[in-house]
Structure 1
Amino acid sequence: MQAEATQRSEPARRRRAWLPWGLLAGVVVLATSGAWAGSRSISALVERNGQLEREAAESESRVAELQALREAQSRRLRTLEQQHQAALASAATTACAPATEAPASQGQPEPRRAGKASTKGKKMARR
């Protein structure tokens, strides 16, 4: 029986001898793959961060460009409104001006000046 026990214990000893090395190899493989995955994840995050910073800078420049465009459009609109108001005022004054000049242009004689009437009167007095 002891021979059988020795035969059984021999493979068991071999398994026990490889067990720590196998566990160590498994831990090393897991740690290596975890470190590799972590480094890929970190590099992906760094790359994404850089991309987001570039997009933010582009967005800020676009916002500045749109604000400048908005200010220019606002100035243009104010100018057009002023021109429109001036045109309306001009049209209103020209619309009123012919109405006041209408009686004079309808063939009514202009009032005589005092100088002309007095000369005629003097001429008549001489005759």
Structure 2
Amino acid sequence: MDGDVVVREYRIALGKNPRGHKIQEGDNRTPEGKYYLDFVMDDSAFYRSMHISYPNLRDKKRAQSLGVSPGGNIKIHGLKNDNNKPPQFVQSFDWTNGCIAITNEEMDELVSLVKIGTPIYIRW
């Protein structure tokens, strides 16, 4: 988005259990709410990634009240480095552990368009 104007839309893959807000590490859910894109990684198991500021204070307090770890390391990322299937196949189902996945070309575009510190609103 640029103000109220949609600049780009991407088909995404989410966590394997995408409905509902992420509660704890390992639940395979993608967090919902307002976060920030806080840094880019070019060296991971995935083709580039942009880190999402999960967990926020609310997430930490909720997990603490439940006696669980909120998890972390949530990103928007490209495909797995060892992926040998076409991007259209990989984007046809939810397969991440809570991240948001797009194609490698889309990841390059996203990194070029979005500045670090940009807010991201994730909702189902």
Structure 1 length as normaliser, TM-score? 0.12
Q: Which has the larger radius of gyration?
A: 1
Structure 2 length as normaliser, TM-score? 0.12
* Bigger helix fraction: 1
* Bigger strand fraction: 2
